[in-house]
Each structure stands twice: as structure tokens, then as C-alpha cells.
Structure 1
Amino acid sequence: MMLNRRNFLMQLGLLGAGLTMAPQLIAAKVPQKAGFQLYNLRAILASDVPGNLAKVAAAGYSVVETFGYSKENGFWGLKPEKLKSLLQENGLTSISGHYNFNKLFIDGDLSEVDNVLEAAKILGQQYIVIPWLAKGFIKDSATMDKTIAYIAKAAAHVKKAGLKLAYHNHDFEFIPVDGKVFYEQLLEKIDPKLLDFELDVYWVVRVGQDPVKWFEKYPGRFKLLHIKDMDKENPQLNTEIGNGSIDYKRIIAHAAVGGVKQLIMEQENFKIDPFESIKRSAAYMNANLIK
């Protein structure tokens, strides 16, 4: 059954108190440490994984999100066990990973899902995240329904293995196709017990939507939050958190309603040295957005 705002607040004990605690809840910071998507360093990460992980930790991050895994090559040539060891050496943990499932969207093949489950468990990850979906898989209403069915199938498979599937958005999921908004369809049609969401705030804002309204419409569904700021001069570019046009203080003030457990900084392009950039973002996150 789909959770609504009233049920969510009742679970938190707020309605019984006449909602007197609701403002305090909404004003709370997210009770997690700063997270970092390793994709930020995709151009240089593989050249020195131990050194780059040390720099991520030194920049102020405690949690990382992985990407780029394959059964043949592991993570940038490292087996999951080795990566876990390196994370531990640097005081880092990994809550989630981005994994590609092309076969899943073609015919519902779960072999790629099986391939990543073992790696995710070794790293201690809680979430397996679908990072990208080719637009061809939601080109019309019928294709959209098929894709949703495949995601639900994979989500049930992941849950059976003891983890949770999550979906990471870009902008096109919010653009109507045959009168349907794919992102909304995922939220409406797949059991919340099976699928969570990693809301990418930048893409939501860029497509003209308000993340807070999604929190309020679907409370508790957005366990992970990708945060990257929007360059004030060129909205197609990113910038350091707190340096752009997105009001993250306002958004995070409502994050508890959305169910947010972890903030994960993602920046796909840099105007300054990447390590100086990620350090500035971590400083802002730790000072303003994280309890």
C-alpha cells in the first residue's frame, strides 16, 4: 500500500501530538555523515585508488557510493574484498553502489543483478542503485509499463537477497510520455517495501520541479539524496555545494519527510581543482546540512 503523508506522520507519532512536533522534525538536519559518489573522480580514480580514497576521506567524507563494477574487472581492477579493505583503512564505509542492468531492461534478465549482489554484500552496502535508464525503455506507455514490471521484478529479487533496490533519476523521467510521468509511475506502481529512490536534486530542479513537493507527495520514499549544486551563470554546469543557485538549506529542512537517510555529493564537472572543490562541498555539507 502506498504511504501517504498522514500515515507517515502518524508513524512518527506527530499526529498524536497535534502536529506540535512537525516543525521541529522538518527543521532537523539529516542525521548522517557526508557521502561522496566516487564517479566524481572517474577520470583519475583508477590511476591510484588507494591515494584517491585517502584524499576523499581527508576532504571530509565518511561514506562513499561506488560505480563501475563488473564481474570480470571488479571495481577499477580491484576485487570487492580489496576495495573494502581500502575503505576501512581510510575510515570509509559504502552505503550504496551504482550498477548497470542493461539485460534487465531488454528482457527482464536478472543475471546482472545476481552478479552485483555478492559484491554489494562484501562492501556492506544497503542499496543497489539503478543509475541510468536509456530513454528508449520509456518511449511510450507500453514500453514504460514493461520497464516498470522489470524493475519491480529486480526489486523483489534484491529484497529477497537482503538488500534494497533504489532508482536514481535524471531529468527525462519527469517529462510526460503518452500522458504519463515515468518517475511518478515508479512511485505509484511499485511497492514501497521493494523500491526506494535516490533523488538527484540537481536534475529535479533543472527540469523545473521542486524536490520538497516530491517529499511531501511521497513521504518516506527518498532514502538517498544526490546533491550537486547548479552553476549560477550556466545551469548546465555544476559547482560546489552552497556556491550555486539551489537552496539546499530549504530542501534539507524537509528531508525528514522524504525519508532521507544519506546525502551523497555528486559533481560531474569542475571549474577548479577537483580535490579543492570536493573539500569545499564537504565543509558546507558538514556545517549546514548534516547533524
Structure 2
Amino acid sequence: MIKQLILSSILLLLFIGTTEAQSSLFPETPGMVSYTYRNSFQKDVSATLDTLQAMGIKDMEFSNLFGKSATELRALLDERGMHCSSYGVSYQDLMGKTNKVGEDAKTLGAKYVRVAWIPHDGTFDLAAAQKSIADFNAAGKILKDKFDLTFCYHNHGYEFHPHGDGILFDLMIQKTDPNYVSFEMDILWTFFPGADPVYYLEKYGDRFELMHLKDLKKGVEGNLSGGTAVENDVALGTGQLDIPAILIAAKKANVKHYYIEDESPIYYKQVPQSIEYLKNLKK
């Protein structure tokens, strides 16, 4: 009788645990964009990695080597059981130092190379979009063929200007070669210019392989500038974006990596809050 009760209790606990796991919308631990902790990284890379490791962060997207070589940074990650899945570089380095970018990304252990800003004067226009399309196709082919890396462009809000019957960002997705160019959706910089992240995830599916998770302060009105005060970055779930709906669409689109990015001066308070929010989301 006692054995039966013990067995029943074990089965019940297993059932409860399975039910909880199944009902979790975001069971994984998110990755982190190094830019969130940029000031800390500039002072002490090792100590900052220790802080992130203590929070359970394993997946990193670096857009700066912070004075280290790629080999040195890789060693620091390996020592902590962490890894770099995406390596962010400038547009200029992507085009002018493509091979060096590829070599550093491979040394870091990254699978992706990312660019987050296209240089342009004034309004981002058709000419700028067409140039970036050609450049991304060319650089993306080199990174794929020579280094087996996937290039991703991270939208920043200014690409959503109208073009004919559509939007320039749509043109960029449609005219880049899916064999060589993928995308990292920054959900704030999709929402800020007035677009719907869910719509783009549903429309273009697996063209989006990476995602920046961030939220926009309530009451802030967006525009097409690609810029807003850093104080307008708030903890996930406290702003204007419908995070659950976005995550559901992202899962269907098979987004591979999710990174928290928080540009706020109080990121050190908001990041733990964002992680806790994601952990408690239910389907």
C-alpha cells in the first residue's frame, strides 16, 4: 500500500511538471546582446560575463570585442560554458573587411553575422535600400560559401518608409537572396515605425532567424527616424508591445535565437525583470 502511494505521488509530480512545462510559452533562457551591458563590458569583460553567467545566460550576441581578440573572448566564454551565436559588425566592416569578419565570427563560434544599421543621409530611400540589397547579397554569399555563416540584417525602424504600393522593408526582404541573407527582427524597431511584428513574422516566416526582445515605454509615439531616447526601453511586459503574441508567431516562424536588448540606463534592474517575465509566460 505504501509503495503504491509513493508511486502515485511520483507519477502526480511528473504529470504536474510536464503540464507546467507544456504550458510555458517561453521555457528557454533568453540570450543577451552585449550592447545591453556595453558600459560594464568596457570596464571588465570577465566580471561582466560572470554576472551574466550567474543569471543563467549562456547565449551571447556580441557586436564589440571590447578590446579582446576573438580568440581571447572565445576562451572567456568557453571557461564559463557560454557561447556566442551571433557576431554583429558595422556595415563598413561587412563590406570592407568581409574575410576578417568571417574569420572572427568563426573563431568566436558564431553561426551568424549581423549588421544593425545602414549608413544613410536624411530619409532612408529607395536608392539606399537597393544598394543595401546588392551589398547584403554579395557579402552574404561570401560568408556562406567561404565560412558557412548566415548573414542577418537587423531592422532599425527607418526601413519602413512607403515605396509604391508597399514598404521598403518588404522590398529588402523580397529582393535579398534567402540563400545568403536572413533577418534579425528587433521587435521594438518593427513596432516603433508603426508596423506589426506578428504580421511580418507570419508573412515572411523563416526569413527571420534571430530576434531582439525589447519593449517600448507606454505613451511614447513612434516615427520613421530609427531613433528614440534610451529611457524609452522598458522591461518586457511593461510597455506597449504584445510580447506573447509576438513570441507565438516567432515560434511558428522557427526563430532560432532570442536575445534581450535593453538600452536603458537601468538595464541592470530591468533585465532580471524581463527574464522573470518570460519565465512566467503561459500559453
Q: TM-score, normalised by structure 2?
A: 0.81
Q: Which residue of 2 aligns with 1:279?
A: 272
Larger radius of gyration: 2
| Higher RCO by CA contacts (8 Å cutoff, separation 6 or greater) | 1
Q: Which runs of 5+ in 1 are unaligned?
A: 1-26, 69-74, 105-109
Q: What secondary structure does 1:232 align onto?
A: coil
8 Å Cα contact 1:201/1:226 also seen in 2: yes
1:54 and 2:50 are equivalent in the alignment: yes
Instruction: Report the count of equivalent residues.
Output: 251
Q: Which runs of 5+ in 2 are unaligned?
A: 1-22, 222-227
Q: Distance in 2 between matches of 1:245 and 1:100?
A: 29
| Selected match of 1:159 from 137, 140, 144 | 144
8 Å Cα contact 2:235/2:273 also seen in 1: yes
Higher share in helix: 2
The alpha-carbon distance between structure 1 residues 206 and 78, as it changes in their structure 2 partners (threshold 3 A), is same
Q: Which residue of 2 aligns with 1:202?
A: 188
Give the CA deviation at 1:280.
Answer: 1.6
Q: TM-score, normalised by structure 1?
A: 0.79
Q: Which residue of 1 aligns with 2:262?
A: 267
The alpha-carbon distance between structure 1 residues 167 and 30, as it changes in their structure 2 partners (threshold 3 A), is farther
Q: Which moved more, 1:160-169 or 1:242-251?
A: 242-251
Q: Distance in 1 between matches of 2:57 and 2:205?
A: 27
Q: Distance in 2 between matches of 1:52 and 1:279?
A: 15
8 Å Cα contact 2:26/2:281 also seen in 1: no
Q: Distance in 2 between matches of 1:151 and 1:180?
A: 21
RMSD of the alignment, in Å?
Answer: 2.4
Q: Which residue of 2 aligns with 1:85?
A: 75
Q: Which residue of 2 aligns with 1:3?
A: none
8 Å Cα contact 2:124/2:158 also seen in 1: no
Pairing of 1:212-223 with structure 2 (within 5 A): 212-223=198-209
Give the CA deviation at 1:129.
Answer: 0.3
Q: What secondary structure does 1:136 align onto?
A: coil
The share of aligned pairs that are identical, in percent, is 30
Q: Distance in 2 between matches of 1:91 and 1:59?
A: 13
Give the CA deviation at 1:138.
Answer: 7.6
Q: Distance in 2 between matches of 1:211 and 1:269?
A: 22
Q: What secondary structure does 1:220 align onto?
A: helix
Q: Which residue of 1 aligns with 2:135?
A: 150
